[in-house]
Structure 1
Amino acid sequence: MKLVISSCMLAFILGCNLTSAIVHVVVQEKDPVLLKCPRSVEGKVTWSRERGGNKVDILTTDGDQDIKHIHDPHKHYSSLADKSLVIFKMKISDSGRYFCNNEAAVDLTVLPSGTHIYETQETLEVTLICPPDVGGSEDPKWSTDAGEIQQGGRIQVSTVNNTLTIRDLQPADSGLYYCGGKPAEYLKVITHDPSERGEKAETTTTVPLTTPAHRDTTKTRKQNKKPKGEKDKKKGKKTTTTLTTTSTQPTLTVRHRI
């Protein structure tokens, strides 16, 4: 029995960037996700995951049949006819780097349900606010998966209103931020819009959760630089760069073919 999936998009992907052959994907737990090989492959494909220095084979598929290499009684993993890997009802433990025939294919981050996603550009400034339900300490600590965040340089921590401010943002600042041990925000820092260098911008982020009204953030966008007097051919106005986010829920339909 093989799965046939009909939908405009299988995974409700919150963030996706391309860096050479590796795709960086951010999803929330309990959502499904579809992971593709970096390139078309012939013959059998073995999918594996690396996390914390440990690499484990998940399954091998030839496009018609799956051979599981791990205990999977709830059918958490499957594949499609093009040998893509499907993971249903994502769990935090599914985070890691995924390999297609030992070639790095996807860096997957699974966020706790309800985690807010905030996208901004490098060199800007952002202020993150500690979740209101964090208690037990008058001075909750800020941290990432790499460890506790220390104040200094570009980092400013306020104990008055429990905020974290990061100036001159860099792509390396991307990640899940915790306050008092609880997820506060997933920050995604992207490089400057390529359109500012005369190239077409292709980065898209879909954010299903509304930005909290209480967030105190600072965000500035630069206007495209064009030769003086150049106008937009259609509207007769100068072209400006804007960043938009959408909130659309894709439809997932699964049919079983016997």
Structure 2
Amino acid sequence: MNIWSLLAFMLGCNAFSGLRHEVVEERTSGSLPCPHSVEGTVTWSRERNGNKVALFTIDGERETRHNDPGKLYGSFADKSLYIRTLTLSDSGRYFCNDEAVELTVIPPGTIRFGATERTSVTLDCPHDDGGSHDQTWSRDTVEIHRQKGFDVSPVDRTLTLTDVELRDSGLYYCGRKAVFLQVIEATKAPPTPTTLTSTSAPSEACTTKLDFRLAG
């Protein structure tokens, strides 16, 4: 087992599989930074049904909204994309011009675990304060049964994943409670803990560059 207990209490950005990955809680506001510094015009878009759909363009002092009737998007001075009041459906792949950033929105109170690929990790079923006794493990609405690489204990309902791969990263549900597992490449060191800071929504004249922002 290779678990970093600090990850159970942190939200932040981490990279795995060569792709920048941001993980934020539902019902907060967050931002997606460009993977690299960009000069000139930046257009943020989102992958939907295999296509890139434009969301927001920053061109100097000029900002243009695309496909954003709810005015959910804004920007910061470093051309990060600001997203207001995130929902689970906001999870997905976004693009700063042609560079991809992955966003995962997790339910409030989600426990986070980290593991290095090709190791094993055991996930505990979180306690449900709502009184539900459902301890069925699932992922993407598909129930997890005992199968190669997955083992659900009939005694304590823990879920053990053996020889994990990068694709095993994601949200797992035990009943109504969620656990987020992040698997990183074996050649990479564990991510450095990130200090969270609260911010306000960007204004038209925002000039402060922030390395990391997450508004609660």
From the superposition, tell whether residues 14 and 82 of structure 1 become closer, same or farther in structure 2 (CA, over 3 Å): closer
Which amino acid is the alignment partner of residue 121 of structure 2?
V
Deviation per CA, 1:107-126, whole angstroms, max 9, x where unpaired? 11110111111112233332
What are the ranges of 5 or more consecutive residues in structure 1 without an aligned counterpart?
A: 1-11, 195-200, 207-247
Report how far residue 68 of structure 1 moved. 0.9
Supply the distance in 2 between the matched residues of 1:43 and 1:149 (Cα, whole angstroms). 47
What corresponds to 2:214 in structure 1? Answer: none
2:34 is the alignment partner of 1:69: no
What corresponds to 1:109 in structure 2? Answer: 104
Supply the distance in 2 between the matched residues of 1:202 and 1:184 (Cα, whole angstroms). 22
Deviation per CA, 1:151-194, whole angstroms, max 9, x where unpaired? 122211123322211222332221110123x2331011223365
Identity %: 45
Is residue 118–residue 165 contact of structure 2 (8 Å, CA) maintained in 1? yes
Report how far residue 97 of structure 1 moved. 0.6
RMSD between aligned residues: 2.8
2:159 is the alignment partner of 1:161: no
Which amino acid is the alignment partner of residue 192 of structure 2?
T
Equivalent residues in 2 for 1:134-213 (5 A)? 135=132, 137=134, 140-145=135-140, 147-180=142-175, 182-192=176-186, 194=188, 201=189, 203-206=191-194
Supply the distance in 1 between the matched residues of 2:58 and 2:202 (Cα, whole angstroms). 19
What corresponds to 2:76 in structure 1? Answer: 80
What corresponds to 2:197 in structure 1? Answer: 250
Which amino acid is the alignment partner of residue 27 of structure 2?
K
Supply the distance in 2 between the matched residues of 1:18 and 1:157 (Cα, whole angstroms). 26
Equivalent residues in 2 for 1:18-29 (5 A)? 18-20=16-18, 22-29=19-26
What are the ranges of 5 or more consecutive residues in structure 2 without an aligned counterpart?
A: 1-9, 207-216
Supply the distance in 2 between the matched residues of 1:205 and 1:249 (Cα, whole angstroms). 9
Match of 1:94 among 90, 96, 107: 90
What corresponds to 2:209 in structure 1? Answer: none
Aligned residue pairs: how many?
194
Report how far residue 85 of structure 1 moved. 1.2
From the superposition, tell whether residues 106 and 136 of structure 1 become closer, same or farther in structure 2 (CA, over 3 Å): same
From the superposition, tell whether residues 130 and 72 of structure 1 become closer, same or farther in structure 2 (CA, over 3 Å): same
What corresponds to 1:17 in structure 2? Answer: 15
Report how far residue 69 of structure 1 moved. 1.1
Which amino acid is the alignment partner of residue 89 of structure 1?
T
Supply the distance in 2 between the matched residues of 1:85 and 1:45 (Cα, whole angstroms). 10
Deviation per CA, 1:58-97, whole angstroms, max 9, x where unpaired? 1122131211112344x42101233221113322121111
Supply the distance in 2 between the matched residues of 1:116 and 1:202 (Cα, whole angstroms). 17
